[in-house]
Amino acid sequence: MSKKTSEAEKGAMLERIAQLESFASEMKDFEPTLPHDHVRKSYVIREKDHAPHLQFHGLGHTAGDVVVFCPQKRVIVTGDLHNPRFPGFIDSYPQLWPKTIATRSQLSNSTTFCRDMVDWNMIAAG
């Protein structure tokens, strides 16, 4: 931080640093479990009250853009397939992306969340 950085900017940066340190601490002992099932087109997770559908609609932002659709709540989580900012094109498929989004749009009348990180409690609460 420079001397020209405002107190508000410093506070925001320090808050972000604290969040990242907390996340690093939380993830220190995390060992990911590799998936044993492949989502070719669609995969349904059967739960007591909900049946989230993991769906692959095609190549978009990356080769692995999977959409999560909860029909009971009419919610779609698109990750960065629907990117609110101008995306980088290093690992994307700009010529195929519009078709993928059009295919996803068949799940109409749903609320769409365009985020990478999802608070599943928020979705469950509806």
Q: Is the pLDDT of residue 67 over 90?
A: no
Query: What pLDDT shows up at residue 126?
Result: 46
pLDDT band per the 50, 70, 90 thresholds, residue 23: very high
CA distance 85 to 88: 9
Which of the two residues, 101 and 16, has the higher pLDDT score? 16
Highest CATH level, class, for 42-125: alpha beta
- Cβ atoms within 10 Å of 65's Cβ, excluding its own: 23
CB 79 within 8 A of CB 64: no
Which of the two residues, 26 and 103, has the higher pLDDT score? 26
Residue 66 token pair = 């999977």
- The string of DSSP letters for 18-33 reads HHHHHHHHHHTT--PP
Q: Where are the alpha helices (DSSP H) in 1-126?
A: 7-27, 97-104, 120-125
pLDDT band per the 50, 70, 90 thresholds, residue 112: low
Which of the two residues, 91 and 122, has the higher pLDDT score? 91
CB 65 within 8 A of CB 80: yes
Query: What pLDDT shows up at residue 24?
Result: 94
